[in-house]
Structure 1
């Protein structure tokens, strides 16, 4: 009976005078990952769709403006729309990658690596 008067948990680590329990990720960390993964994926998908739409629109609109319009205003509008499309695509991509990086760092902190 002397060997059974203390019960130890398998995940208990004793260091000096203090006891540290190793555990998995907290509920807040799990909810953070479950929330940010779809957001990051959606933003990356929006970045890809925006970039694709901008390139297709630019490929279609540029020859039409060159052939049918001697006025520079439509060309300026096309350039403005192309720049706006590339900037918004970059913003969506950067936001998606930064949120996925945040999730990855939180996951690494949760696992202790």
Structure 2
């Protein structure tokens, strides 16, 4: 019943809380507008370049596969090195404990 317990005292909203809510709302609206503009721009660019994709698909498909494999290899390499560095850092901190 602890999770369902209602708060006994209600505090009035502060000026800082109201200002934070207003600014967060404005930021969220701005980001939604930006997302809509980028989506519409991307879809228009995709529609405009679709004939080029169809014409050059025998070249673009293998190039895309190769680029995807290279990007995955770089991502795996970076992730593995970051993991290894964090393990080495943890081992160093663990060995320095008294």
Q: TM-score, normalised by structure 1?
A: 0.40
- Greater fraction of residues in helix: 2
Instruction: Please state which structure has a larger fraction of its residues in strand.
Output: 1
TM-score, normalised via structure 2 length: 0.45
Greater RCO (CA < 8 Å, at least 6 residues apart)? 1
